Copies of this chain bind each other. A is one copy, B any other.
Amino acid sequence: MIYVLRMGHRIKRDERLTTHVCLAARAFGADGVILSGERDEKLLEGIRKVSEKWGGNFAVRYEEDWKKVIKGFEGDRIHLTMYGERLDRVISAVKKSRKDKLIVVGAGKVPRDVYNLVGWNVSVGNQPHSEVSALAVFLHEWFGGKELLRGFKGAWLRITPCKRGKSVVSCRK
- Residues A73-124 near B (CB distance < 8 A): 82-89, 112, 115-116, 121, 123-124
Beyond A121-B164, A137-B140, A164-B116, whether A82 also contacts B159 by CB under 8 A is: yes
Confirm or deny: A27 has a beta carbon within 8 angstroms of a beta carbon on chain B.
Answer: yes
In the bound complex, do residue A130 and residue B132 qualify as a contact, i.e. CB atoms below 8 Å apart?
yes
- Residues A15-62 near B (CB distance < 8 A): 16-17, 20, 23-24, 26-28, 50, 54
**Which residue of chain B is the closest to A54 with respect to CB atoms?**
B127
- Residues A139-173 near B (CB distance < 8 A): 140-141, 145, 147-149, 152, 158-159, 161-168
Task: Kindly identify which residue among B16, B26, B112 contacts A17, using a CB–CB cutoff of 8 Å.
Answer: B16
Which 6 interchain pairs have the tightest Cβ spacing?
Answer: A133-B136, A20-B130, A27-B129, A126-B159, A27-B127, A125-B148
